[in-house]
Structures are given as C-alpha cells and as structure tokens.
Chain A
Amino acid sequence: MYEVIITRPRTLAEAIDLLGSDESQPLAGGQTLIPTMKQRLAAPETLVSLSGVKELAGITRGDGEITIGATATHAEVARELADSYPALAALAGNIGDPAVRNRGTIGGSLANNDPAADYPAGALGGNATIITNDREIPADQFFGGMFTTALLEGEIITAVKFPLPDAAAYAKFDQPASRFALAGVFVARFGDVVRVAVTGASEEGVFRWEAAEQALSGDFSAAALDGMKPDAVGMIGDLHGSPEYRAHLVGVMARRAVAVAAG
C-alpha cells in the first residue's frame, strides 16, 4: 500500500470540510476501495474515514419506510431488516462473504456503483431515495452508468430511504469466484406498480427492465415473463458469459425473483 493520510472525523460537518480538497476521497467500509488502492486503480492522497461519523450510522423505521444510514454494513442490514424487509435483508446477506459483509457498507456500495454489485439493483428496483449531505436523489436519477453516479465532488451519501413494498425479492446468479452478480434481478411491487431492476448484465450498469415491469403490472406471476429476456445488445460479454447468455440469465433470474415475491 502506498503512503496515504487517513483522517477520522467525528461529525458530518467535519467530514464534508475534509472532503473539500481535490485529492481526498471518502473511505466507508473499504472492501472495494482498499484492494483498488493496492492495485493503484485509485490513488487518493487523503482518505476521510466515515466510520466514526455518528450521523451516518443506524437504521430507523418510519411510516411505511426504512432509512438506512450510509455506514450500515451489509451484515447489519441482513440482521436488522430480516423481519421488516426480508428481500433487502436477503440481498445484503448474500453480498461477498461474511467477513466482507461485516465491513462493506450500503453507502459505499451505492457510491461505487459497480456494474455487478447487488445494492444498486435493490435501490433502483426498490425505488429508494439516496440522501446526501446536500439533497435527496431518487434512485431513478442516481445511477449514471458503470461506476458513475449523480454524486458531485465532495458530496457523500448520508442515508438511503426505502419505501416498504407489498412484495419483493432478489434473485442472483453468482460469479462463483468473485460472488458478484453475473445477473441479479430485484423485483418489487407497490400496489399496481412493479419495478424490475437488473445488475451484473449491462455495460451501462444497473437498469430497469421496463418490458418486464409492464408484463408484471397486470399479472404479478413468473408466468407473465414466460419466454421474455432483454435484448442482448449492450449486455456484458466476458470470459464468464456472452451477452446472449447474460440476457438469458436476466429472464431466468427475473422469473425466480417473481416466483418468490408472489409466493
């Protein structure tokens, strides 16, 4: 690891102030950032550790919604939402491995927006609102393609607000070595409105599969998606799977998710 300065602010105001410099970057759980720095794919001069900032911690239950602090770990979400939002708890509880889940955070995952990460599908499919130190951003406007988000320089996620759905589930086909998604589909039904978000598959990162949403809004059953898959154009092709394979997997994962959610 190259030389780096680590600052450990105690308050959000202090953290934002420290992030004002061009060469500083927030450090959440570090489960992606630290390996990335070791490989020199990122080389910030200063890390602003968010783990001691109390305003970013904790999970609160409101009227029909749950607000998750940015530094909540995947393990915390898996434990604490097991009864109140089992689909999101299951998503968090199957990220990476247990040790990674004890450090990795929801804020870090969403801010990184890895095209094969699980949380972007949960946030977009779950119609979450990403709360920052400055504003509230609907998930539909937050994700901007691979590793790109609406966050501005010096802006950080403070919490993520999820409306509680009537039914939801996440189905993921793991790449077994990395445990990232080769295709992951989060399905959520809010009354007559159904949202279907796909991760792992597209060159553009997480996206909503609108044809599936339309098919499911009249008939929320796996059968409503029989034979459906998204266009393979724009899907990721690599040694793990061709674009056609990934498009096929998206259809299969969507049907599995709906079968669980509707069951």
Chain B
Amino acid sequence: MTEVSMTVNGRPVRADVPDNTLLADFLRENLELTGTHVGCDTAQCGACVVHVNGRAVKSCNIFALECEGAEVATIEGEAAPDGTLSAIQQAFQDHHGLQCGFCTPGMVMSAKALLAENPEPTEAEIRAYLKGNICRCTGYHNIVRAIMAASGQDVSNIAAE
C-alpha cells in the first residue's frame, strides 16, 4: 500500500492504495465516483477518459500513483452543484448525442479537452479528435453535432444519419 493524494473535481483526496490501482479504479472504488466508466480496460474505447492536469487521459491506462499531486477532473465535476448541466452536457441532451449513455462520460470529457484546445473545431477535426472514443449506439453523427453546437456553431449542415 502506498499513500496517494490528489485533487479530484476541486476536492483534495488522500488514500492508501495498492500500487497496481489504476486511476479509473481509484475514482470508482475509493472515491465512489462511478460516472467514469470502464468499457474495454485496454485503452481503446475511451469511456474512462478524465482530465489529469488539464489533459485528457484514459484513466484505465494510468496508475493512481502516477497522479500524485495532480488535478483530476471527472464527469461528476461537469454539472453545477444545483444540477445544471454544462454547455457540452446540455448539447448532448439537446442533440440526442447518446443512447445507452455508457460512452458519454468519456465523450463529454474528450469534447471538453477538444474545445479547450480548439474552440471552434470543424466537423473533421471533431471526428479526428474522437478517434479514441468508441460509441456503439449513435453512429457518432449526433455526438459530432452536439459538440459543434456546444462550440456555438451552426449544426444544420452536419449529416443527420
């Protein structure tokens, strides 16, 4: 067991964990932040994307100990304390950017990272950025549409299906 401390969604946390604890498991099991989903556990599906020091990472593919002292942001930190959705979350709801919702936490966190780097991405840039986030329901069109809408752009020309 090794002590690890980090800041998660603005809250300082500290715990003794086995060294092999992955960040995804630390968030889900130790902190009970189960919004971060583990889909493939092989770093391919992107459902577990969170931000570490402002950068999107796959939390199933990084040890919690590697996040010592880091600022971690998860999907639970997106909505306001009163439950008001963030602009990206609201756009996913408005544009039907999810069906089963399993991939959505990772999609939203990747979208947030994209818009931080590139506030007005093109459709092609959004699709390229989501290479590491797999959705088995939507066919991606409404996800792309939602992200474009969240960036304040016209979405009427995005393929509908």
Chain A residues within CB distance 8 Å of chain B: 1-6, 8, 27, 30-31, 34-35, 38-39, 49, 51, 75, 96-100, 102-103, 177, 179
Per the bound structure, the CA–CA distance linking A157 and B29 in Å amounts to 36
Q: Is B71 an interface residue (CB 8 A)?
A: no
B20–A2 touching, CB < 8 Å: yes
Per the bound structure, the CA–CA distance linking A2 and B18 in Å amounts to 10
B62–A3 touching, CB < 8 Å: no
Residues of A contacting B62 with CB < 8 Å?
Answer: 30, 34, 103
Q: Is B97 an interface residue (CB 8 A)?
A: no
- Which of B22, B49, B52, B66 meets A1, CB within 8 Å? B22
B2–A6 touching, CB < 8 Å: yes
A35–B61 touching, CB < 8 Å: yes
B131–A3 touching, CB < 8 Å: no
Residues of A contacting B95 with CB < 8 Å?
Answer: none
Q: Is B113 an interface residue (CB 8 A)?
A: yes
Q: Is B145 an interface residue (CB 8 A)?
A: no
What is the minimal beta-carbon distance from B22 to any residue of chain A, in angstroms? 6
- Which of B44, B55, B66, B113 meets A49, CB within 8 Å? B66
The 4 closest A-B pairs by CB, nearest first: A97-B132, A102-B55, A6-B19, A97-B131
Within 8 A of A (CB), among B36-86: 41-44, 46, 49, 52, 55-58, 61-63, 65-66, 68
Known: A6-B2, A49-B65, A75-B55. A99 touches B22 (CB 8 A): no
Per the bound structure, the CA–CA distance linking A231 and B104 in Å amounts to 46
Per the bound structure, the CA–CA distance linking A34 and B40 in Å amounts to 13
A35–B20 touching, CB < 8 Å: no
- Which of B42, B58, B65, B113 meets A6, CB within 8 Å? B65
B131–A6 touching, CB < 8 Å: no
A8–B68 touching, CB < 8 Å: yes
Q: Which residue of B lies closest to A73 (CB)?
A: B55
A6–B57 touching, CB < 8 Å: no
- Which of B42, B68, B131, B133 meets A38, CB within 8 Å? B42
Within 8 A of A (CB), among B100-117: 110, 113-114
Interface size class of B (residues with CB under 8 A): 20 to 34
A99–B18 touching, CB < 8 Å: no
Residues of A contacting B110 with CB < 8 Å?
Answer: 98-99
Per the bound structure, the CA–CA distance linking A159 and B161 in Å amounts to 47
Per the bound structure, the CA–CA distance linking A99 and B18 in Å amounts to 24
A4–B20 touching, CB < 8 Å: yes
B131–A179 touching, CB < 8 Å: yes
- Which of A3, A5, A27, A31 meets B43, CB within 8 Å? A31
**Could you list 5 examples of A-B contacts with CB < 8 Å?**
A4-B20, A30-B61, A98-B114, A99-B49, A100-B58
A3–B56 touching, CB < 8 Å: no
Known: A30-B62, A97-B46, A99-B46. A3 touches B20 (CB 8 A): yes
Residues of A contacting B2 with CB < 8 Å?
Answer: 6
Residues of B contacting A51 with CB < 8 Å?
Answer: 66
What is the minimal beta-carbon distance from A93 to any residue of chain B, in angstroms? 10
What is the minimal beta-carbon distance from B122 to any residue of chain A, in angstroms? 16
Per the bound structure, the CA–CA distance linking A235 and B22 in Å amounts to 37
Per the bound structure, the CA–CA distance linking A177 and B65 in Å amounts to 30
B56–A96 touching, CB < 8 Å: no
Residues of B contacting A98 with CB < 8 Å?
Answer: 56, 110, 113-114, 129, 131-132
Per the bound structure, the CA–CA distance linking A239 and B130 in Å amounts to 25
Q: Which residue of A lies closest to B114 (CB)?
A: A98
B43–A34 touching, CB < 8 Å: yes
B58–A99 touching, CB < 8 Å: yes
